[in-house]
Chains A and B, each alone.
Chain A
């Protein structure tokens, strides 16, 4: 009995080995390295001096850096809220389409992912820049040109564009799963359409709302490419800061500290989301 079970485990290990190796070598080991760097000092010309210090943590809560965190929070939260406002009605409508149109709509939602991310960002630059398409449109009405590029608005637009599908898909799954008879029951009991939404549909799709919000908030908060490209490097977000510490300031210990803090915050958020979803 025990031997057969032992053999069973051994067999399972053989199948798990490739994936497990991959995760250990490429995720867990780097994570452990980054974590360990947080307690060391930077070298004068880059590199790491392996002497214990807590100075990195003291520096991380400097108002200068907290301000960057605040900006990142603001931009990520705004992106998430707009994504929710746009994504919920979209997901709701798709869930009520006939089956054939549902598939087409869902493919259309994920279609942008099939094009390279950087290329799509360049496309936004072309759209938003001075003589770009959007300003040309305004010009037809005698308006503009406006400064559309290289500000926080452009960052939010880029983030929104990139991560909106990640909001729509979990919302769609949640709304689709909802028994349509619950809405009918609510109407039958005398509730208006709005009351039905507020008291039945929304509470029951809340897990989807939380998941979608997390999917948008997390990559928005940590993003550094979009602030760089569409923000013109004028707006510093946490992601930019971390990259600058590693690549420009060559301060790996401090970069590691910021990265660890970021991961810790996001893990806490995920835990909170899991907890809320279990209760809902």
Chain B
């Protein structure tokens, strides 16, 4: 529906947009996500007609959009500041766009009434914007944008001016509204949570370029660049080269398990990205009986050992431990170090998990470190763990209030399927 092709915009020496191409479908809820200064707002202003690109084309259903002045585009923009007319009442604000279409007064009044009903402000038509709360103003801005029934609605940081509670409500409200009116929504935001929860698809911007366009879950689970990995959610990145059979070869930690992206060839410089909630944490001091058990090489005993090992809180669940036990023969301790090599078959992840689990048994783990800090967020706790040889503390998320105290020695493990090997960003 909206097709952006090779759009470039420079301001002096600064390249705000560098050859951006995107295609947005009819009825889609699309997000442009990126830090401030990444060019997303410039793109929005180009679509709305307040900026002109230096090169590139923008078409809406095949019509050249750039040829039309801003007031002749079938596009509504909801401004970050809402830009409500302070000298007009709520109803006058909403009616403004319809009055420009020279509609009969009766029709205008009816549609204004309807749309104010939709956003729950039917009672407030006579108020001035200054007499409304932030959330109410946002609704007025929304009503003013959708009353013209635009083909495309652009929203510039729609929720950033609201406090947390109102935000959550408005988030649901926006989604409901989008389903109801069936307009294509394009939202610009720097808030990855907002983008993830609202959008069907997200384009991540960085330095005027599009890094990745994907659905929220894919974006989170399979980031394609280090920037995306770092910007969308928290992540731990390890440097190294892509291993032969998957995984990442590092200098200090051997081969770490991970699934390479299709375009990552073995041997190239790469990064391994693993999410905090995918790291399993085990108390390193409880490994002595587990080691004994591994030597016994008895499956049942190994399972016991896994139980015995004081599992602080593990994202990899009990099944993984059982797998570990199943896989556990005398050699597992050796396997642990090279778990990532286990390959990319379906079994690979299990083998990896097995190796990891066995690693516990072997008293090794993928990584070892000591807890630096614990922060409780209600529901989840974030632990930062100092791993000798890794420049930054490793972040681990555990359910509930973590029982771990700073200073405790721990082992870290994860499945190959939960970690991605991505190419090193050259830019």
Chain B contacts for A184, CB-based, 8 A: 48, 50, 70, 77, 79, 83
Chain B contacts for A192, CB-based, 8 A: 71
Interface assignment of B13: CB less than 8 Å from any CB of chain A: no
Interface assignment of A11: CB less than 8 Å from any CB of chain B: no
A190 touches B83 (CB 8 A): no
A189 touches B86 (CB 8 A): no
Which B255-301 residues have a C-beta within 8 angstroms of A? none
Interface assignment of B76: CB less than 8 Å from any CB of chain A: yes
Least Cβ–Cβ distance between B70 and chain A, in angstroms: 4
- Whether A182 contacts B85 in the complex (CB less than 8 A), given A190-B101, A192-B71, comes out as yes
A204 touches B86 (CB 8 A): yes
A204 touches B83 (CB 8 A): no
A189 touches B87 (CB 8 A): no
With A and B bound together, what is the CA distance between A186 and B69 in angstroms?
A: 13
A280 touches B81 (CB 8 A): no
Query: 0/1 per residue, B43-70, Cβ < 8 Å to A?
Result: 0000011100000000000000000011
Pick from B76, B79, B87, B96: contact of A181, CB under 8 Å: B79
Query: 0/1 per residue, A175-208, Cβ < 8 Å to B?
Result: 0000101101111111110010001100110000
With A and B bound together, what is the CA distance between A191 and B72 in angstroms?
A: 9
Residue of A nearest to B95 (CB): A189
A190 touches B87 (CB 8 A): no
Chain B contacts for A204, CB-based, 8 A: 85-87
A190 touches B97 (CB 8 A): yes
Which B297-347 residues have a C-beta within 8 angstroms of A? none
Least Cβ–Cβ distance between A205 and chain B, in angstroms: 11
A179 touches B83 (CB 8 A): yes
Interface assignment of B100: CB less than 8 Å from any CB of chain A: yes
Which has the most chain A C-beta neighbours within 10 Å: B50, B71, B84, B148? B71
Residue of A nearest to B48 (CB): A188
Pick from B49, B76, B96: contact of A191, CB under 8 Å: B96
Interface assignment of B209: CB less than 8 Å from any CB of chain A: no
Least Cβ–Cβ distance between B80 and chain A, in angstroms: 8
A190 touches B100 (CB 8 A): yes
A190 touches B86 (CB 8 A): no
With A and B bound together, what is the CA distance between A169 and B278 in angstroms?
A: 63
Interface assignment of B411: CB less than 8 Å from any CB of chain A: no
Pick from A182, A189, A203, A280: contact of B100, CB under 8 Å: A189
Pick from A179, A186, A203, A280: contact of B96, CB under 8 Å: A186
B70 touches A187 (CB 8 A): yes
Residue of A nearest to B70 (CB): A187
Pick from A181, A203, A280: contact of B83, CB under 8 Å: A181
B71 touches A200 (CB 8 A): no
With A and B bound together, what is the CA distance between A203 and B88 in angstroms?
A: 10
Which A142-198 residues have a C-beta within 8 angstroms of B? 179, 181-182, 184-192, 195
Listed in ascending order, the chain B residues whose CB lies under 8 Å from chain A are: 48-50, 69-72, 75-77, 79, 81, 83-87, 96-97, 100-101, 144, 148
- Supply 10 A–B pairs (Cβ within 8 Å), ascending by A: A179-B81, A182-B83, A182-B85, A187-B49, A188-B75, A188-B76, A191-B71, A199-B96, A203-B87, A204-B86
